[in-house]
Structure 1
């Protein structure tokens, strides 16, 4: 009888142990399942990011592999991001000719050409609503209108953050600062205190003056080389937040600095024998530099650095002539 009772107790213990093992196994299975769900959710969260745009919040791939771009090609390249397609204008930028191998042309932002590349992200500066409507049917589209960024630092930092390239952006800007400091030091050695610089242009049939914005090397000359504008340009453009202003050719002398950088483009003409032009002191002193539109029309970060180096070299060379 004692033996039967012992066997009964032993059997009960085995049953209890089996139940406990099954319970633990079930809990572990549930925990594993929940862990897998959490990992999956986290993975999905990391797969995309939200970007604030003029068209609201846009969900884009966190690690886009097939980017098509309009107007911001150089910035992507300096961040180490090579898109699969870019506009004809982007690819004609003389400052990046050695960096564009393998990038397909999309013409003038051709919807058909973009669609054929099967992009997973489109970045464009074209603010027309119709453009966004067309492109967003192809892939997530981020519109960044022209002049959204007033400076190299803003552009590189913002696009770096959007693409998850913050470290690359910081590294490039550090190098940019070092190189720009070198160019400022070169200029400071040759420019006399108080000497001023103007940027003029003949565009089509009109005459223009330019400030420190995206046009005709304005960022490089005023913001980064820190050259001094004449008082009227400072007041009417730079302080007023204007990047350019159309003026009458007859009043050009009122905006002329000790040195003039002049752009002639889009069919514009400059009559160097005109009495108004001939009366300007900078002209009399041979202190006029004629800009190459191919080099001074681009306004991307790579171009701005190249323009600053070129302007510094122009001024140093001019001073050495005396």
Structure 2
């Protein structure tokens, strides 16, 4: 339930009066109890009511039961002070701005402007319990609850959604639209998202052969990493949004494991016709001058796209949309 400090004295008096009226009506045998549903896995609890004004007040103060990996928990119907360690992109898309988030998330290239004034709760995966307590949250959302759930759940109702459970923008927005009673907003946002993704894909399909292969890589100086479709670095926009494929010989491995560390000798085996490379210090000219990388078709033809980790690491719906359009623009101009 919400704490009483969320309500002004005037509203508290009004609610008390309304509840008294409802009690009197119920005593006369005319009251009803209704249990509404906010979608699969989310049930809304309402109180006895026969007047619209009273129903709105009850909804503001109400709770609903949500099924989570930690069992059924009660959360506020309209949480006002959310601490979100994860899923900020989906929350912002629904105009749900938290009061606290990890510093790394607040600095997200794609939505940091939306989070001006949000409190930093510490490191991602290892938040400061003291800072969260000080924010007096009424709901906590995290994807890293294995080590912190017991502590966090003592502060406020805590929903743990492990990374990978929500596999794409559609699943994320649908879930949070249901959670916050913003199903229509989620539907509208996803319609615009799908339209823009389709436009980007059509732009790429018009100039890049359907059988062209793509590799998602990251430069580690002494080694190279390669990624699948759900590990950031461009995997979501390339493999999910644009529908492209990795080289056939390594596709099954990469899509199942999602990452692999490569030695210099292994790079050619994992390199596709196009390479989307995360690199903070090396340029395309550096790769062209490298005795191993310069032998790859993608490097020879200039079919390597280099971007920094501050743009490639993120995989929330806002980031994926922006990344997809960025890569589509490069591919269409390149070809």
TM-score (norm 2): 0.79
User: Which stretch shows the higher mean deviation, 88-97 or 271-280?
Assistant: 271-280
User: For 1:210, which of 224, 227, 234 is the aligned residue?
Assistant: 227
Q: 1:205: how far off? A: 4.3
* Higher share in helix: 1
In the TM superposition, what whole-angstrom CA distance separates every residue of 1:180-217 from its partner, at most 9, and x where no partner exists? 01101111122134222111122374421111113211
What residue ranges of structure 1 are gaps of 5+ in the alignment?
Answer: 1-28
In the TM superposition, what whole-angstrom CA distance separates every residue of 1:78-100 from its partner, at most 9, and x where no partner exists? 01211111111111001112312
1:52 matched to 2:106? no
Contact in 1 for aligned 2:25/2:31 (Cα 8 Å): no
In the TM superposition, what whole-angstrom CA distance separates every residue of 1:154-201 from its partner, at most 9, and x where no partner exists? 111112212222111111111100000110111112213422211112
Cα distance in 2 for residues equivalent to 1:51 and 1:233: 40
Q: 1:94 to 1:30 in 2, by over 3 A?
A: closer
Contact in 2 for aligned 1:205/1:269 (Cα 8 Å): no
- Show the 5 A alignment for 1:242-257: 242-257=257-272
User: For 2:47, which of 16, 19, 40 is the aligned residue?
Assistant: 40
Q: 1:310: how far off? A: 0.7
User: For 1:83, which of 93, 98, 103 is the aligned residue?
Assistant: 98
TM-score (norm 1): 0.82
Q: Which residue of 2 aligns with 1:120?
A: 138
Q: 1:60: how far off? A: 0.8
What residue ranges of structure 2 are gaps of 5+ in the alignment?
Answer: 1-23, 34-45, 50-54
Q: Which residue of 2 aligns with 1:315?
A: 331
Contact in 1 for aligned 2:26/2:32 (Cα 8 Å): no
CA RMSD of aligned residues (A): 2.6
- Show the 5 A alignment for 1:192-231: 192-203=209-220, 205-231=222-248
User: For 1:293, which of 290, 305, 309 is the aligned residue?
Assistant: 309
1:185 matched to 2:192? no
Q: 1:118: how far off? A: 0.8
Cα distance in 2 for residues equivalent to 1:269 and 1:314: 16
User: Which stretch shows the higher mean deviation, 169-178 or 241-250?
Assistant: 241-250
Cα distance in 1 for residues equivalent to 2:253 and 2:189: 33
Cα distance in 2 for residues equivalent to 1:30 and 1:79: 38
Q: Which residue of 2 aligns with 1:25?
A: none
Which structure has the greater CA radius of gyration?
A: 1
